A and B are shown apart, each in its own frame.
Chain A
Amino acid sequence: MSAVTQTGPLSAQTAPAPATVAGRVTQVRVVRSEWVKLRALRSTWYCALLAVVLIVGVGAAITGSGPPYTISAGNSAAGGVAVSLAGVVIAQLVLSVLGVLAFSGEYATGMIRATLAVVPSRLPVLWAKMIVVVGFVLPLSLLAAAAEFFVATALESSRGGSAISLTDPGVLREVVGAALYLAVIAVIGLALGALLRRTAAGLAVFAGVFFVVPIVTSYLPHAITGFVPYLPSNAGGDLWGAGKLFGGHQLGPWTGFAVLCGYAVVLTGLAAWRLRHRDA
């Protein structure tokens, strides 16, 4: 036994390296890994189902409850579509949960330690989560928004409202814009989850910024509300017509969307910095 103790380390140095099956870490491989997690978690599918139900259900309920929508000088086709997309306002909360959980869930369960131990360069994990979250939320929201458009137009025509087509000015942009908006919302949720590491904290910040602040600012005196259009919900909402629902302060659809993306980029940058430089 003592002979083995003496020669063990020496003989191992001259021996060839032991067999391994593991290859290099690549971004594509990490994306595949993250897709396994997102796809296999029940919370993903609960959030997805709830988001679709909210977008289609709330839209249908609002469309069906008011008087038939007739296009006139003050009522554009795009305005009618914006009303029918009102479910996006609530669905964004659900999809932000999906985004936050994609990161905070790993911290809550401890899986982050396993994840970062196999991808010790860390940042590929953030990019991979972003890719799978956008890759999941964007088509899902597009499907839901398109479904809602067809449900709403069918409802309107059945009760004698004006016919609205996807080719009417601004209509296609609002339907696609709702999906783009929700995809960016999920990215903001993801960045908050990575930055704050706690599900509750991430959701509190999201709800505060997207629901509480816009309401509070509507009570502020007019002189100091110049920043209100730049709030992420107001800026991004311009793309899918939220401004037509709640009135006022528009930056224009694509400028507003660019501002929303700016918030997402800044938050993602902060999340990347924290992930890279802080203890897991």
Chain B
Amino acid sequence: MIEIDGLTKRYGDKTAVDGLSFVVEPGVVTGFLGPNGAGKSTTMRLIAGLDRPTSGTVRVNGQHYPGCAAPMSELGILLDARSVHPGLSARNNLLALAWTAGIGRRRVDEVIELAGLADVAGTRAGGFSLGMGQRLGVAAALLGQPQTVVLDEPVNGLDPDGVRWIRELLKSLAEEGRTVLVSSHLMSEMAQTATRLVVLGRGRLISETSVEEFTGHATTGGILVRSPETARLSELLAATGVTVTDDGTDLLHVSGATAEQIGMAAWQAHLPVFELTPARASLEEAFMQVTQDSIEYHAGATR
């Protein structure tokens, strides 16, 4: 579990994170979203104790992380920027981290295998591709079997096979009861993996919710109606004052009426309807709407 309370971080006169409070629960994958510069990476550095908060507190599994006796059992972290030594082999990079917690070679070999690095384990990490470096970073985060896993853009640079590996990995970590916080720019990826969401904009919390609620609240909304009589149905509905978009296929996009109202109207006019579907906004659309609002709000507030 990660508990963040009133967290603020200033670098000089630039405020990267501003009065942030949220909780990341164990047992589910929590997506961490926000436009570039929203403060996601800064928050992750603060969670790992790499930077000190200007004010506010971060607790990892109920403890102040820098004071933990066995840090690697509490938190495993992959940071956006590279944090491996290019002059050391993949195995030595992992071994150097492992020894600090008394983790042996067997576990190191295990994560090397898990991350698909067995063939390059003895090669200097400096020659690694972005994807390989990313796999090494994820392997490092998993080394101590931590209760809480924080990954910044883990799918960055990964091939489709690697993307699927991360997706399944995150889900299985959550199923084991671990806390999983993961950021990504790939909304479709996030929609598939995450159950909860924490959304930042300009260093502030915009939303802390479930993926379903988040997309449900987006206003794209409307109802998709499939019917062989789209022309007559569209005329009928337009007469009641709702907005109907007819794209010439057998689908109508109706907003301003509920599915019940549309179904009833069609039944009364003896028009067949094959499908009535609430049109949900995609996570990406919801994200754009929400973050756009926050940016406009902030721009207005500072004027």
Contacts and interface: CB of A to CB of B under 8 A. Distances in A.
Interface of A: 2, 4-5, 8-9, 11-13, 15-26, 29-30, 32-34, 36-37, 40-43, 105-106, 109-122, 277, 279-280
B28 A21 contact: no
B295 interface: no
A4 B195 contact: yes
Interface class of chain B by DSSP: loop
28 contacts: A5-B210, A12-B177, A13-B26, A16-B177, A17-B147, A20-B72, A22-B71, A23-B70, A23-B102, A25-B101, A29-B99, A29-B102, A33-B96, A33-B99, A37-B85, A40-B92, A105-B85, A110-B82, A113-B45, A113-B48, A113-B81, A114-B97, A116-B49, A117-B77, A117-B83, A118-B71, A119-B100, A120-B68
Contacts of B72: 20, 22, 25, 118
A22 B146 CA distance: 8
A24 B68 CA distance: 9
Given A13-B26, A111-B84, A19 B101 contact: no
Nearest to A7: B27
Q: Which of A19, A23, A26, A115 has the most CB of B within 10 A?
A: A23
B96 A2 contact: no
Interface string B238-252: 000000000000000
A112 B147 CA distance: 22
B83 A110 contact: yes
Contact of B25 (A8, A26, A111, A277): A8
A207 B107 CA distance: 43
A237 B28 CA distance: 63
Interface of B: 25-28, 45, 48-52, 65-73, 75, 77, 79, 81-89, 92-93, 95-103, 107, 140, 143-147, 174, 176-178, 195-196, 210, 212
A13 B62 CA distance: 13
B85 A23 contact: no
B71 A119 contact: yes
A41 B87 contact: yes
A141 B212 CA distance: 66
A20 B69 contact: no
A20 B147 contact: yes
A274 to B, nearest CB: 13
Given A8-B25, A9-B28, A120-B66, A22 B145 contact: yes
Contact of B212 (A5, A109, A110, A121): A5
B85 A106 contact: yes
Contacts of A118: 71-72, 97, 100-101, 144
B87 A109 contact: yes
A122 B50 CA distance: 10
Among all A-B residue pairs, the 5 with the closest Cβ atoms? A12-B27, A22-B144, A22-B72, A22-B73, A9-B25
A9 B107 CA distance: 28
B144 A20 contact: yes
